[in-house]
Amino acid sequence: MDFRQIRNLMKEFEDSKIHKLEINDKDFSIKLEKEDNKFFSTPSHSPIASFTDTTHVKEEGDKGTTEEHNTNYLVKAPLVGTFYQSPSPDSEPFVRVNQKVNKGDVLFIVEAMKVMNEITSPVNGTIMKINAKDTTMVEFDQVVLEIKE
């Protein structure tokens, strides 16, 4: 890894919400860490993809009104990396808002340490929201897409 790559990595790390990063590759090693009063931990292993089905909940306000919460499937980043909406810069995105998807369709790619990880749809449904911008860093467990069944 040359100095330019290290400097770019440090800039990306500084601008991200990541608190700790350690890279070991053959005879190169780098550890970056931000000081923070909050406790931060990472799981011992990362799943290939993480999905959460939020429950339909109603809360009563002071005046007896009800509020409905999001019932979409939340597709989360399974690891820290760079988010890509398409397989290459000159290709169309895998998905767009309001597009119908089937279980197993590729939704996006997360690149980590030069490995492209295709993230697939856990359900049949419609893309309701894309919460990440193309070529930006995503964190572990960050909600990237929302799918309505």
CATH assignment at residue 54: 2.40.50.100
Same domain, 93 and 129: yes
Rounded CA-CA distance 17/67 in Å is: 30
If 0-12 CB within 10 Å is exposed, 13-18 middle and 19+ buried, where does residue 95 land?
Answer: buried
Query: How many separate domains does the chain show?
Result: 2
Pick from 134, 144, 119: nearest CA to 89:
134
User: DSSP assignment, residue 101?
Assistant: E
Same domain, 18 and 89: no
Show the domain range for 88. 47-149
Yes or no: say if 95 and 107 are a contact pair by the CB < 8 Å rule. Answer: yes
Same domain, 92 and 25: no
Same domain, 106 and 138: yes
The 3-state DSSP class for residue 11 equals helix
H/E segment holding residue 12: helix 3-15
Bigger pLDDT: 20 vs 124 = 124
Regarding pTM above 0.75, the answer is no
Bigger pLDDT: 78 vs 30 = 78
Q: Is the pLDDT of residue 122 over 50?
A: yes
